[in-house]
Structure 1
Amino acid sequence: MISLRARLLFFIVRISGLKNYLLKPGRAEKFIARDHARGPALPVRWLRKHCDIEKAEIDGQPLYRLSPKENGNSLHIFYLHGGGYAFNIVSLHWHFIKKLIRRTGASVTVPIYPLSPENKWDSSYAMVMEAFEQAVSRYGAENIVVMGDSAGGGFSLGLSQMLRNHDKALPSKLVLLSPYLDKTAADPTQIELEKTDILISIEGIRRLGSWWMREGEDPAMFPASPLFAPVDGLPPMLVFAGTDEMLLADSLRLKQKGDEVGAQIELKLYDHMQHVWMLLPIPEAKTALDDIVEFLLAPKV
């Protein structure tokens, strides 16, 4: 049963009208311009106090490496933040990373990749690929878990598929949180899911996807839409989706593709949850974190 806190938070988001914000011509562009001018959020206070933080750059883009000062171990999380490929990392992401470090003792790499619409998928992937290869040289691929929320979840899958395609070292595991895997939003079930989703719309999915691609490119192409690429030969995967979110359709199709080829994909469905609920201050987020930590710390089979 959905918690009272989740009900209240989802109600506030619904009546705020945020879902339709990206649909108004001109307003979305101004909102993104303000976000880009403000820049990415910085690591929160707990991280600054309890972690050694190294800030580096790849082609002018920031890259953060965080290592706990106490009780660290060999586990390393390569985290790709969400935001439709257009919005900066925010404090909610850093607070979630804080929880991961507190619960697991892992070190973390956080690439602040180039954002759309100024940048397209190829420049974003190039930066993230270099960041991952640096992480492999420092921590070892066998110790790395690639994780991301929303667009970062799609990015995590696409990165792993690209590494596989180029015969490069793969991470040991993947964790995808409400992943954004398909820029076409053509799944027929999304027509009904749009009614229950308080944040994402079909038009919003397509618009965000178009900003990340060049004019004339197919929105179903790889790696922009990693759902349509093969999923065999990838590390074990833990995927989360809420039953009331638009991107449930992406996760269900990913699971079906994985089952057809024998891929190790565990799908966790949470009743009545909305997009990236695991980052929110609700009881259901703690339950999801428990599931994530169990997966992270379990020996690879």
Structure 2
Amino acid sequence: MISLRARFLFFIIRISGLKNYLLKPGNAEKYVARDHARGPASPVRWLRKHCDIEKSEINGQPLYHLGPKKNGSSLHIFYLHGGGYAFNIVSLHWHFIKKLIRKTGASVTVPIYPLSPENKWDRSYAMVMEAFEQAVSRHGAENIVVMGDSAGGGFALGLSQMLRNANKLLPGKLVLLSPYLDQTAADQTQEELEKTDVLISIDGIRRLGSWWMREGEDPAMFPGSPLFETVDRLPPMLVFAGSDEMLLADSLRLKRKADEIGAEIELKIYDRMQHVWMLLPIPEAKTALSEIVEFLLAPKV
């Protein structure tokens, strides 16, 4: 049963009208412009107090490395934030990263990758690939978990597929949180899921996808839409989705692709949950965090 806190929070999001506001011509562009002018959120106070934070740059883009001052472990999390590839990292992401560090003692790399619509997938992937290779040289690929929420989840999958295709070292594990994997919103079930999703629309997904792709490119191409690339020879993967979010369709299709070839993907679907609910201050998120931590700390078979 859905918690009262989650029910209340989703109700507030619904009545805020944000979903419909972003559908009006020009509104999404204005919203993105304001976000870009404001810039990315900085690590929250707990992280500044309890972690050694190194900030560097790759081609002018910020790159954070956080290591706990006490009780650190060999585990390293390479975290890719969500936001439709167009929006900056926010405090909610940093608070989630804080929880991961507190629970596991992991160090964390956070690339602040170039955003659309000014930048396309090729420039962002180039920056993230270089950041990952730096993390490998520092921590060892086998100790790295690539994790991301929403667009960051799609980025995490696409990065791993790109590494595999190039015969490069792969991370030890993958964690995808409400992953955004298909820029075309092509699944027929998404028309029904759109009715229960309080935040995301089919038109919104397609608009964001058009910003992410270069001129003339098919939005179904890899790596823009990693769902359409093969999922064989990838690390063990844990995927979370909510039953009421539009992107549930992406996770279900990913799971079906994996099952067809025997790839190792575990999908957890939480009843009545919305997009990226794992990051929200609700009881269901605490349960998901426990499952994520268990997966992170479990020895790789």
TM-score band by shorter chain is: over 0.9
Residues 134-162 of structure 1 show CA distances to partners (whole Å, capped at 9, x for unaligned) of 00000000100000000000000000000
Rounded to whole Å, the distance in 2 between the matches of 1:21 and 1:259 is: 38
Alignment partner, residue 214 of structure 2: 214
Residues 178-209 of structure 1 show CA distances to partners (whole Å, capped at 9, x for unaligned) of 00000000100000000000000000000001
Alignment partner, residue 241 of structure 2: 241
Counterpart of 2:142 in 1: which secondary structure?
helix
Alignment partner, residue 117 of structure 1: 117
Name the aligned partner's letter for residue 212 of structure 1: W
Counterpart of 2:175 in 1: which secondary structure?
strand
Q: Which moved more, 1:53-62 or 1:19-28?
A: 19-28
Rounded to whole Å, the distance in 2 between the matches of 1:229 and 1:296 is: 25
Rounded to whole Å, the distance in 2 between the matches of 1:44 and 1:62 is: 16
Residues 50-107 of structure 1 show CA distances to partners (whole Å, capped at 9, x for unaligned) of 0000000000000000000000010000000000000000000000000000000000
Rounded to whole Å, the distance in 2 between the matches of 1:162 and 1:213 is: 16
- 1:63 paired to 2:63: yes
Name the aligned partner's letter for residue 265 of structure 1: I
Alignment partner, residue 85 of structure 1: 85
Rounded to whole Å, the distance in 2 between the matches of 1:72 and 1:20 is: 44
Alignment partner, residue 53 of structure 1: 53
Alignment partner, residue 107 of structure 1: 107
Rounded to whole Å, the distance in 2 between the matches of 1:267 and 1:25 is: 36
Alignment partner, residue 27 of structure 2: 27
Counterpart of 2:123 in 1: which secondary structure?
helix
Residues 202-243 of structure 1 show CA distances to partners (whole Å, capped at 9, x for unaligned) of 000000010111222101000000000000000000000000
Rounded to whole Å, the distance in 1 between the matches of 2:162 and 2:211 is: 21
Alignment partner, residue 98 of structure 1: 98
The CA deviation at 1:22 is: 2.1
The CA deviation at 1:30 is: 1.2
- 1:127 paired to 2:109: no
Alignment partner, residue 72 of structure 2: 72
Give the ranges of 4+ consecutive aligned residues of structure 1 lying more than 6 Å apart after TM superposition: none
The CA deviation at 1:28 is: 1.4
Rounded to whole Å, the distance in 2 between the matches of 1:23 and 1:196 is: 16
Counterpart of 1:291 in 2: which secondary structure?
helix
Name the aligned partner's letter for residue 74 of structure 1: S
User: TM-score normalized by structure 2?
Assistant: 0.99
User: TM-score normalized by structure 1?
Assistant: 0.99
Counterpart of 1:200 in 2: which secondary structure?
coil
Rounded to whole Å, the distance in 2 between the matches of 1:12 and 1:175 is: 28
Name the aligned partner's letter for residue 13 of structure 1: I
- 1:182 paired to 2:171: no
Rounded to whole Å, the distance in 2 between the matches of 1:259 and 1:23 is: 35
Q: CA RMSD in A?
A: 0.5
Name the aligned partner's letter for residue 78 of structure 1: F
Alignment partner, residue 139 of structure 1: 139
Rounded to whole Å, the distance in 2 between the matches of 1:43 and 1:140 is: 24
Alignment partner, residue 38 of structure 1: 38
Counterpart of 1:129 in 2: which secondary structure?
helix
Counterpart of 2:193 in 1: which secondary structure?
helix
Alignment partner, residue 268 of structure 2: 268
Counterpart of 1:184 in 2: which secondary structure?
coil
Rounded to whole Å, the distance in 1 between the matches of 2:242 and 2:256 is: 17
Alignment of 1:274-293 (within 5 A): 274-293=274-293
Q: Which moved more, 1:66-75 or 1:22-31?
A: 22-31
Name the aligned partner's letter for residue 231 of structure 1: V
The CA deviation at 1:21 is: 2.5
Name the aligned partner's letter for residue 129 of structure 2: M
Rounded to whole Å, the distance in 2 between the matches of 1:143 and 1:7 is: 37
Report how many aligned residue pairs link the two structures: 301
Unaligned runs of 5+ in 2: none
Name the aligned partner's letter for residue 273 of structure 1: M
Residues 260-286 of structure 1 show CA distances to partners (whole Å, capped at 9, x for unaligned) of 111100000100000000100000000
Rounded to whole Å, the distance in 2 between the matches of 1:20 and 1:64 is: 34
Name the aligned partner's letter for residue 282 of structure 1: I
Counterpart of 2:163 in 1: which secondary structure?
helix
